[in-house]
Amino acid sequence: MTNILAFFLFLYPLFMSLFWIIGGLIFYYNRERSKLSPLLLEDQAPLVSILIPSFNEDENILETVQELMSLNYPNYEVIIINDYSNDSTESLLWFSCKKYEKLRVVNLKQNQGKANALSYGVLAARGEIVMTMDADAILDPDALQYIVPHFITPKNGERVGAVTGNPRIRNRSSLLAKIQFVEYSSIIGMIKRAQRVIGKVMTVSGVIVAFRKRALMDVGLWDKDLITDDIGITWKLQKRFWDVRYEPRAICWMLVPETIKGLWKQRIRWAQGGIEVIIRHVNIFKDYRQRRLYPIFLEQVLSILWAFLWLFYLLYILIFEFNRTLFLYGSFLALIAVLQLTIALYLDRKYEKISLKFVIWAAWYPLFYWIVNVLVLIPAVPRAFKILSKNKQDFATWDSPDRGLPR
């Protein structure tokens, strides 16, 4: 029995790493390797409404707004939804509204979560294309020039419900931030490329994603009771056969946690959100038309199963059966993981010239990623079942995440 378990624990991550690598390279060579330049939409540029839900963001919101006022796109508005902040966010936004004509603010009188705030923002939006961003993010000036054409292209453009961009990390002063820089290139970059090759993605990146408003209304907007709005809306759109795409040239600069506590809270929320979506959408197997979602669903289930079995097996071999062969297997998997990360950084080199300098941090990644993602599942699983056992009308409220060390 232990031999079968060891066989699965070794082959599963090996197979998935090779799949991500091959899929990522196919995406790159078919859709990405040409010379990168914005498409410079002019007369045909549709109005884009940029929504930013905000709760206690007085440290970052002014910088985000200021950067948004100079995008290389002719037709957009910015709407900030202040979800009843109890710091100086509201007064800062009032000052910004007087300064910037493109900016509007929606002040909510009760904190009811990010998904609820986004839903109010959609109702206030004038554009048919709605982009959502985090309040600490800095959007690349050319990002809309790359995202918008997906929605208006004559070939299948009407089927596009969402286009997610390429998050890049702004803060890199600590070891945690450097490791996450490598992680975002492999997880957000490589895996999304590979998933798009098979036609479906697990989740859009909530920090930068644009939606067709009609698609959002078609699926009933975001699930307000789920802890992760981005995963939930991705599955709702794809179940209704809206196309969800990845555009690596649309770059957004974000802040990541630089403390163990902040990272721990973030990863529990991610893990919980993934489990909630799996439970809620298990009914896809009743509908053969959803078959293209089956691989994404099964991969998520197997990854959770693998994590728990890995923890169990690790404890078993440390107590009863440690040997050199197991050490060699682990070393080989770590080598494959580093290879995946190195290739991912190579694919991203055109977006950041310094990317390959971070290969040295890839050596830390397998150990860091496996341990953290196993441990966060322990509290995440019961939390997910507890949330889904409640009334679906309950709101998943939020608090301000760790934005990194003081800059």
- Listed by start position, the domains of the chain span 2-25+285-388, 35-181+201-265
In order along the chain (407 residues), what is the average pLDDT of each group of 10 residues? 73 85 89 64 82 86 88 91 82 84 87 85 93 91 91 80 90 78 75 88 90 94 84 92 91 86 84 85 90 90 85 74 64 75 78 63 63 76 68 57 55
Amino acid 99: pLDDT: 84
> What digits encode the pLDDT tens for the residues 117-162?
898 999 999 999 999 999 889 999 999 999 998 898 767 668 899 9
Amino acid 208: pLDDT: 92
* CATH 1.10.1760.20 for domain 35-181+201-265: no
Amino acid 401: pLDDT: 59
E strand or H helix at 93, and its extent? helix 89-99
Amino acid 32: pLDDT: 79
Q: Are 44 and 15 within 8 A, CB to CB?
A: no
Q: Are 6 and 313 within 8 A, CB to CB?
A: yes
List all residues 6 or more positions away from 331 whose beta carbon is below 8 Å from its beta carbon: none
Q: Which amino acid would we find at residue 53?
A: P
List all residues 6 or more positions away from 370 whose beta carbon is below 8 Å from its beta carbon: 307, 310
Amino acid 262: pLDDT: 84
Amino acid 304: pLDDT: 86
